[in-house]
Chain A
Amino acid sequence: MKKSNLLLIMIFVGLTLLMSACVPGPRVVDAPGLALDETDVFIAYSSFVYSLDGSNGAVNWVYPDKASTQIVFYAPPLVTEDAVYIGDLAREFHKLDKATGAEIWSFSDAEGFYLGQAAIYDGMIFAPNNDGVLYAINAEGALAWKFETGHYLWAQPQIADDTIYIGSMDNFVYALSLDGEEIWSTELAGAVTGAPLLSEDGSLLFAGSLDGKMVALDTATGDFVWTYDADQSVWGTSIIADGKLIFADSVGNIYAVTTENGEALWQTMVSGEVVGGVSSMDDGFVVATKEGQLQTFDFDGGTKWQASVNGEFYQAPVANSDFLVAGMINGDELVIGFNLTGVQLWSTTPEK
């Protein structure tokens, strides 16, 4: 063999070994994940998680200290009294100190990345992952158990009466016991992207799916109680207020139906595509569109106030008793804050 050929082969093998030691960054794009507590806003976007002062948008802290192409955040953070829980695209799930942003522990057993918001119940954290697995992580950051579904998990689990409910992109809704055993599973006609919602008495579970249906399942058995046909796919979150289930489809129709039997109460619409769904406010709800429209309604479907921004909303806004915050992409800023009468308080693209 010629010396030059031998050299080429050696370079090739060397490069292969070198590249096998490197892991390229994830190839996923999504919108910023948002969460609120009484005073602060928590945003997960790109390389960082930010804590902002909800009254003026000033940065409280940033995690991590240095940007990395490997670590990317899009999942909405889970905020508790003293901690922020967030998963990234590098397959790590972190517990951060809410006051300082310092990492308390990280969990790295997942095989996929985190895009869904975690839930907490009785000290146990339930983290949905794109590998289709729901990870139950104990308070020390160790794996307690895991439950595997057939596709991505993007929706936040709902937990009540020692039962965990999860909607999967494999079209199934699952009910699990707190030790990870399946109680029942029900197949819908489309993937479930938004978090399922429990009725006020906990007897029904509502789930929208990409086949354009909103269904109510019996939480004890998983049987269908009623089905409501929307015009288009149902992507985001729903709310319950005054005994009404309020949800949106992807073309901007907003529906209110009775929770007991799915009977239509009223229907209205926003001009634009709705991906994130509907979010609750103190005296109404808010819907944000991909086209940059932000519209608030009372629980009877009457418009309260609206705002328009240069940007695209893919996630539902979040609100507390003082302010409302929405995260956008392809716009002038990353995040925008309003008071509850629609006056813009601030907008910012936080930087490290």
Chain B
Amino acid sequence: MTTLYIDDKEVTVPANTSILEACRMHGVDVPYFCYHPELKVAANCRMCLVEVEGWPKPAASCCTPVAEDMRVRTQTETLKKDRKMVMEYLLIHHPLDCPVCDQGGDCKLQDYSVEHGASQGRYVEPKRRTEDKNLGPFITTCMTRCIHCTRCVRFAEEVAGTGDMGVLNRGDHMRIDSIVEDTLRSELAGNLAELCPVGALLDKPSNDVSRPWELERHHSTCIQCPHGCDVIIESRGDEVIRIKHDPEGAEAWICDRGRYVYDAFRSDDRLLVPAVRKQGELLACDWNEALTRARELLKDKKVGIIFSPSWSLEGLTSIRLLHDAVMNEAKVAFDLHRRDMRPFAFEEGLSMSTAEIEAADEVVILGSDLRQRLPILMQRLRRRVANGKALTRIGAMNYRTNTSPGKDALIRPRDWPAVIARAMEQLKDVGKGSPAMEAWLERVPARHEAGKLLADALMAERCAVLVGEEIRAHEDAAALIHGIDLLMRSAGHGEAGDDGRNLIPEGMNAQVLSAVFGDIRTGVGELLQAAEAGELDALMLVGSDPLGDGLFSMQARRVLRQVPLVQVGAIGGQIAEFADVQLPAAAYSEIEGTFVNMEGRVRIADKPLRSIGEERPLWKVMMRLTQELGADDVPAVSLDELRQKAAVFMPELADVFAGKKGAEWRMPTARNRNARCLPSGVEPAMALDIVSRFSMYREGAWARASGLLREAGQLFALPDVLVHPHTLRQLGLEEGECVIRTASGEITHHVGTREDVAEGVLFVAKRGGAGDLSTETSASLRGV
């Protein structure tokens, strides 16, 4: 620690802190533009100058480390003049267009101009001419306003990892440019608008729509991926204008999916009124009529319920209460991506926080497209690599992560048992075998060298294993996860709170789902199979869209054609055409509610927007339906009551709701210590493994309802079916139309190539003609 004096006040800060950070820690206001806590220091704006006693010149506080007994002055006459001059320099070429600039009212330059600037500039020479840039669908530019702080350049380099912004030219010809004259290819692009201290880079979709001071800010939790980032929803009245990063949140950025999904809030796909189908047409009606029709379809019937995991904890609990009260026999499922329903040795959810993962000695990604699925975690891992720390990745594709993990292996899903077995052998060789391991190994004759990377990483003191969708969706997932658990135990990672076992969930609230539905859940595949076999009278989809998401689209389409459907949700989407009744539930922006993210962090939203139609919070819809279906008592009539009921499943929640757990408390993930699943030994039927590709711009009903995300999805799309060029060559085929055969039939489709896909893998998008391929696990290719 270092003790110094800032404006005669004694302060103590960690050694090597910069003066600016010391000032910020102690509430001393030093103005700055280029400094950003998440970016490397550039020290170029020169606004943060301070004086240090005994130094001949003022010092830039952002790049000057504190020293013992240093005496810093932040408010002197010279500094006032210096700041005034920096403002004058910056405003030389800056237009006076605050009244038409979206940044106006929320602008560092404007604020400092009032605080530190002169009332009039003295520059009368010709002004600089600039050209605006095309930075893609999310960022609009007005480069005359640029003050060259290079925050955006550093962001592209250090955070996005794309490095596609830079500085050209020198002196006052200097300009920020997108080096390749191309759009910014980043899933984090939206942060640029927030990052830019002036109005040079602005949010394109919300540009010229509102003024900052008209907007109300609502703290909320993003549900677009399991990360559950803290966000601020900005609204004018009841209209969502944009979503921004919450500066008080746990992460430094939010991704474009979580940000631009707001377009869905006002889309035509929103369910805003109840509706029933009459003569083949969905017609708006009142709640009573819709509920009556729902009752006819559901009461005393054999029902299947598939719901989305991203409802609030209260909403999810209300589904369970509905089940227990009036639909005891109903089959309940929620995970559209799980084929193997046997219990997993460690269930979905992270045992570590993202910060702990970033700091671990070793991190291993096992089969996950983190950049698309968890872009903010990927960003942390990118930073980890930039700081020289190890990252190991084993999986079917390198997933264009904009970073180079030191250790990388491309494998097919069918190789996972051999990979794990290879790792087990290595541990055995150093005397860390176990009888359970022997039993597991006995079932797997093959060995895959990628296992060495896994075993090597596991030898570290703290190793974070991130198990992704390639394993979670595997037909033999329980055996693979058991195998990984055995490996971790042998390597000394005994079970503890943050023991490195991280199974990346598909959606939010994984821990809640384990606790509330663990005993009654069934697989989506099983449920749809029962429906197809005529064992179900009706289907209720609660926010779930099995046509667009998950691994069961083909079965779901067949079922929806034959079984009556009650749709409950906030987005109609493609499910609407099958719905017999629609009950509108409120969007996540419109409810008070509790959300648990993959780390188990709990967030309570308590300042919702008002509903814009007749939609109601899911729990109210569920309770009303319970009543309609003949319950004598409605299980909960208030949010408080509902939370008490939720605490029955999760006793720690009582403390959470009583405010006795801090913001850092994390709900533990479920473990199944006795789940001993051995590899099946069953080889896939066909030569190529199918890996379903996740697109952050396309997956999820919300994303599909957002025109902005659709546009980005098209812009950044890869061919729908991808294989390694070697795979095609071995089959004597060329890039282009091919016949793809699976257990469910043949389709002819364009097959593209990429060298970063594992050989022997068919990497497929969930859309268009290739959409249903995700329902299968293996395929073969031949020429047309």
Question: Is the A/B pair a real complex?
Answer: no
Give A residues with C-beta under 8 Å from B: none
Give B residues with C-beta under 8 Å from A: none
